[in-house]
Amino acid sequence: MLIKTAQTNEDFLKCFDVMQALSPQLTPELFLDLLKKMKVENYSLIFIEENEKAISACGFRYLTSLFDGQYIYIDDLSTLPEARGKGHAGMLFDFIVEKAKAENLKAVHLDSGHQRFDAHRLYLKKGMKIASHHFKIEL
């Protein structure tokens, strides 16, 4: 399977259904508006497609912190429900890890909703460890 980088609105819209599966509140307009803002913040979106439609996608960015220096943060990793269990998310995850290694980065981070047990199994199988709790306050 070929991993592609989304670069145009057409590419981004190919990924919309995949990302809406992860974030149901998205509309195509909101999705494109947020991506425009996120691209300024160094966000990239990679995907795997079948029949001209993305079936799995991963959004990531580079961040820097005092505890890990520069690292890749995975914002989004999603696969269409009908395409799950075929290794697509694992391929995208491995691509990001290899990218980080090739760039001599110290780590790859991600947050995952507490209810996403299938995703957690993948992350643990790939060698990730639960390193912290993520807190937020709704405003």
Residue 87: inside a domain: yes
Number of independent structural domains in the chain: 1
On the question of pLDDT at 115 being above 80, the answer is no
Express as a percent the part of the chain with pLDDT over 70.
Answer: 84
Task: Give the integer Cα–Cα distance in Å for 7 and 10.
Answer: 8
Q: What's the predicted TM-score (pTM) here?
A: 0.85
Residue 133: inside a domain: no
The domain that contains 97 carries what CATH number? 3.40.630.30
On the question of pLDDT at 137 being above 80, the answer is no
- CA-closest candidate to residue 60, choices 40, 48, 76, 71: 76
On the question of pLDDT at 120 being above 60, the answer is no
Domain of 23? 3-125
Please report which helix (H) or strand (E) contains residue 3, including its range: strand 3-5
Residue 138: inside a domain: no
The phi and psi torsions of 45 (rounded to 5 degrees) equal -130, 120
pLDDT (tens digit per residue) in 52-91: 899 999 999 999 999 889 999 999 999 999 998 899 999 9
Residue 19: inside a domain: yes
What is the C-alpha end-to-end distance of the chain, expressed in Å? 42
Residue 11: inside a domain: yes
Residue 82: inside a domain: yes
